[in-house]
Amino acid sequence: MLKYFSPVLVLIFISCSGSKPEMLLPEKVSPEIYDVLLENEIVKVMKVSFAPGQEDNMHDHYPFTAYLLDGGKAQVIMPDGKVNEREFPSGFIAHNGNGVRHKVKNIGSNDINIILIEHKKIGSIPSFDNDVNLSAHAVSPDIYEIVHEDELIKVYTATFPAGSNDNLHEHGMNTAYVITGGKVEITGPDGSVNERNIPDGAVLYSDKMVRHQVKNIGETDIKVLLAEYK
């Protein structure tokens, strides 16, 4: 079952701290914790890893989507000194549309691993004239589950059991993180077919509108997190 932060937990985890005159990039101030997997003008995708007792330095985030690969207990410190402690279970997803300045410490006994998709240009991205009747979650609700949606972005998961497929659908500009990969067959609207092996942890980015159908032709389930701009 998909887990998602309640509004109160999201505020604790990603509370906005007000004006930020200069960006303190996490991968610059704490490179041992933040590993950039992909970056362009639109997005920055990072893997964030905290060993027990480890903490980062004060830093900023663009608006972002977070996925907890491995949850744990964290202490979050704001610039004004306010401290919050919270336990974040594995598999939780959160979205922050404002950005935040804070520092974080792992106060638990296990590693915490997070995937962050930072949205550097949200609100100023060219829109596509997508057919809403062909949105992924509309045509295949058994595969696609929306966990956050607002006027700028749609965040959802795609879960393909072995042998399953979705129906023909469209995606706008999007970033995807492959939580568990596998072998897929992708069919285009013209009937063309491509097979791909997509590994765990792959980061995919598309700046175009795409129409296709996907089938899991492997022997294991596939799960993907997608952030799609409107």
The predicted-structure confidence for 116-145, as pLDDT tens digits, reads as follows 999 999 988 776 677 878 999 999 999 999
Q: Residue 160 pLDDT > 50, yes or no?
A: yes
**What integer best gives the mean pLDDT of the chain?**
92
Say what the pLDDT of residue 13 is. 53
Which residues of the chain form CATH 2.60.120.10?
3-119, 132-229
pLDDT value at residue 194: 98
Write down the pLDDT at residue 132: 79
pTM: 0.88
pLDDT band at 17 (very low <50, low <70, confident <90, very high): very low
CATH architecture of the domain with residue range 3-119 = Sandwich (2.60)
The C-alpha angle with vertex 94 and arms to 46 and 157, in degrees rounded to 5, equals 85
CATH topology for 132-229 is: Jelly Rolls (2.60.120)
**Does the pLDDT value for residue 152 go beyond 70?**
yes
